[in-house]
Chains A and B, each alone.
Chain A
């Protein structure tokens, strides 16, 4: 890749345009040099796709929570781009226990200390965690 071929396609989603990353290209004398790039449509599309999948899953989970089929924990987990295994590690439980907490009736009976743990991991308050179930 030559210096003048370094793509400058802005990554115009989720603050992606805040960084102009460094790529390596060859100048007119054949010497390698670092060049800043705003992005490349090819990689932008791939990144966008990964986010679209995450956003879709988040929206599906939101609908399930509103319909009373899942607890807010499931939504906040997706919101934080986690899966059950990772969330289980963060709250110090087994994955099957976290999955149980996805059931609204189990969630409603969770002890305050457990709710505190989840809220801390999601960086929210217990009230915010609970509010989602009503909203």
Chain B
């Protein structure tokens, strides 16, 4: 078995990164921002009663797998996807696909990827990577968060593909089987934008979309009253990590989405989208400012620098600005 000629590009986010790398391998000129936007990756959710290692769940993106699936549908790309009952079957299927010259995307747990720095290795089971060859008993890996390609031992890869917990990857693997001769980006971009607006503005429940930003803002105001200083500090730390650390490209995917809007403006020749991009960039800066002050509170475990009230206000303003942006974006007329 040998290595497939595969060009690795580093990306901010694993799922949109893998999708971009796989499609570029097929000769489609699509970079991460476009994947993220067409796949309607931007989102917000805060679910106070869903505790993940003791802290309330917060997310800045849509659920795992959705971006990849929507991009394939919207660009009319045929993908083969498969889950497996045992590691042996999963590894065999991978070897066969590689023999057939197909780079394979797959789900894995970052905890079992020895090539990643320990600092990033928590039990996160929805990490995407591409395997594009096998040489001297090691698999060649293109992991989008890394600057360069790397390798992994078969046993380690099998462990990562069959990690337990939620969600369980069950060896989930995917590869491109057919691409159309011409690709209509315009329609796909419109659909992606429409869907992002829908998910931001429409959920009637408080935990999802733009509403959830206000929910979190309200909760933060109550942290000093309801939580011990240690808990409050941990809760803030978790929000910061979800926003900045977990491959978001900065400001909880806001910069990545703004980059998409800019590219969409160029592709569709619409200046109004460039305006939206600039607006969202500014909100992104507000989110960064929020994180900066949250970190100071987190470290101080006291409210002498900026109080929880002020922090809550910063977040509320992010929410209000985004509400205005997505409401106007939703009303755009497409030809």
Contacts and interface: CB of A to CB of B under 8 A. Distances in A.
B255 A32 contact: yes
Contact of A19 (B111, B122, B147): B147
Interface in A1-52: 1, 11, 13-26, 30-32, 34, 36, 40-43, 45-47, 49-51
A43 B245 contact: yes
Contacts of B83: none
Contact of B249 (A23, A43, A90): A23
Contacts of A40: 244
Nearest to B11: A22
Interface string B122-135: 11000000000000
B97 interface: no
B293 to A, nearest CB: 9
Query: On chain B, which size bracket covers the interface?
Result: 35 or more
A18 B146 CA distance: 9
A85 to B, nearest CB: 8
A81 interface: yes
B69 interface: no
Contact of B233 (A49, A51, A86): A49
A21 B259 contact: no
B23 to A, nearest CB: 17
Nearest to A80: B111
Contacts of A83: 53
B164 A46 contact: no
Interface string B116-145: 111110110000000000000000000001
A2 to B, nearest CB: 9
Contacts of B19: none
Given A24-B256, A25-B255, A32-B259, A46 B295 contact: yes
B195 interface: no
A23 B254 CA distance: 11
B58 to A, nearest CB: 12
A89 interface: yes
A80 B292 CA distance: 30
Contact of B119 (A15, A20, A23, A32): A15
Contacts of A31: 262
A53 interface: yes
A104 B331 CA distance: 65
Nearest to B278: A30
B56 to A, nearest CB: 15
A1 B32 CA distance: 18
A124 interface: no
29 contacts: A1-B250, A11-B119, A13-B119, A17-B117, A19-B117, A24-B12, A24-B250, A32-B263, A32-B277, A36-B147, A41-B295, A42-B292, A42-B294, A42-B295, A43-B240, A43-B241, A43-B244, A43-B245, A45-B298, A46-B238, A46-B240, A46-B241, A46-B244, A51-B119, A80-B111, A81-B111, A81-B123, A82-B123, A89-B165
Interface of A: 1, 11, 13-26, 30-32, 34, 36, 40-43, 45-47, 49-51, 53, 80-83, 86, 89-90
